[in-house]
A and B are shown apart, each in its own frame.
Chain A
Amino acid sequence: MNLDSLTEQSGEWLRASGPEADIVISCRIRLARNLSSFPFTNRASTHQKAEIEQYLKGRLEKIDFEPRLEYVNLAPLSALDRQLLVERQLISRELANSEGPRGVAFAGSEIISVMVNEEDHVRMQVIRSGFTLDEAWQDADRLDDKLEEKVPYAFNEELGYLTACPTNVGTGMRASVMLHLPALVLTKQIEKVFRALQKINLAVRGLYGEGSRASGDFYQISNQVTLGKSETTIINEIRDVVPNIINYERQARQALTRENHAQVLDRVRRAFGVLKNAAMMTSEETMDLLSSVRLGVNLGLIDDIDIFKVNELFIHTQPAHLQKLLGRQLDSEERNTERARFLRNRLREMDSLN
């Protein structure tokens, strides 16, 4: 697979094609599985990891499953290429930075990826655009069935799928929904949402941010419990609560446009103006300004910009993407200059189409 060509396209899950895509960026199902005949990855020797990889690679390439998965061996890749896969959410940061034989199989659409020798031998994930938890689960379930035909999983009746960390044992499933909640952040209601979710044992995490701060106003909601509930029950619990958050965000957006129209318009236009004109731009500032632009597009305050194009900018302005586009390593100051140049060009292109 030619990784360089990835920067010219985007994963399906960014397309904003699914239901409620103005607020729900994507849904993800992740399943953790292990081979019964090997120690867990952290305890496996390099030789064993190579055996695990060979074994799984062969089966992943041969399973009767559409879309076709292509295996990428991560060990010989440069740190930059691995980082690129992290930014596209095809692999975890942990897998990128670990050592030894390991890899990822994924389909060209980037909806499905299967990590090999992560914390568990197999970590498969499905990411879909919009509020599509059920569809994502169906894909993951189907892929899991196909792989299970060829691979004996570590499983016991009492505890379910056995994982390296007891926080994943049982279903081995983490279901998550990524939400863009700028209006709840602006109106300072986001903490209320946090507290309500944590009461029902769902985890909330700011995405892309350092520490507890979420840059770009992206939040990920996921289940904490994996044992003692079926996959459907876990998914239903999340699916039941997300519409409330969507409504809450919509109400906050309406209130903003009704009561603070001038301020919101000003914020959106300033963000757009800075993105189109700045000479240097950090990653964090980019996230925050793009978040305002994204809100502006969804409120109809900026005309004729495709929300998909805005989604794409969040990914394409990240460090590895910028460096791949320019074809060379950049230090952080150069990155800020190039990021600003990239944003100016892209946004002016979009603007001139109007």
Chain B
Amino acid sequence: MHKCERCASPATVHITEVLAEAKFEEHHVCETCYPKYMEDSQTKTGAAITSDAGAELEEALFGQQECPDCGIKFVDFRNSHRLGCSRDYQVFQNELLPLLENIHGETRHCGKTPRRYPQTKLAEAELTQLRQRLKRAVEREDYEEAARLRDQIKTVEDA
């Protein structure tokens, strides 16, 4: 998950600011910093979005590799936040996986597939994941969540 941009706590509040001329800005702050953020955002514009400390080093190490299809380097992605083609997900796999983990908390798809892909493999992936979540819920004695997950598992199994 994201870190709060104002302190080191995990960010629980994710805001998309709608600025003038249809520009958007993403912000990630924790609950404690959120009221202050709201206060400041009435007057400010252009609050800096902090980047990870390791980003520069990472770029020096990996940033020069180039996608043979579309020609982008990972540093281009860092700057534009857009990939160049679908092959980039393989070319920059090592760099992208931690990022996906940060954004989504998961790194494996378990939703819809085009017909040409076997449905079963995906159901398996989702079941594995739901079972892990169920295990964690039971461990922390969150029985409400556990019951909900059991229902979900049943739905997936029956589908």
Contact = CB atoms under 8 A, between A and B. Distances in A.
B109 A157 contact: yes
Interface string B86-115: 100100000010011001111111111111
A198 B114 contact: no
Interface in B31-87: 31, 34-35, 38, 41-42, 69-70, 72, 80-86
Contact of A169 (B13, B89, B122): B89
B80 A42 contact: yes
Nearest to B41: A212
B134 to A, nearest CB: 14
A43 B108 contact: no
Contact of A227 (B14, B16, B38, B108): B108
Interface in A211-265: 211-213, 224-234
Interface residues of B, number: 51
Contact of A158 (B31, B105, B108, B114): B108
B82 A229 contact: no
B107 A228 contact: yes
Interface of A: 34, 36, 38-40, 42-43, 93-94, 97, 119, 141, 144-145, 148-149, 153-162, 164-167, 169-171, 173, 191, 194-195, 198-199, 201, 203, 205-206, 209-213, 224-234
26 contacts: A38-B85, A43-B70, A43-B72, A43-B82, A145-B115, A158-B108, A159-B107, A160-B112, A161-B109, A170-B109, A170-B111, A195-B13, A195-B31, A206-B18, A224-B14, A225-B106, A227-B108, A228-B104, A228-B105, A228-B107, A228-B108, A229-B106, A230-B111, A230-B112, A230-B126, A233-B152
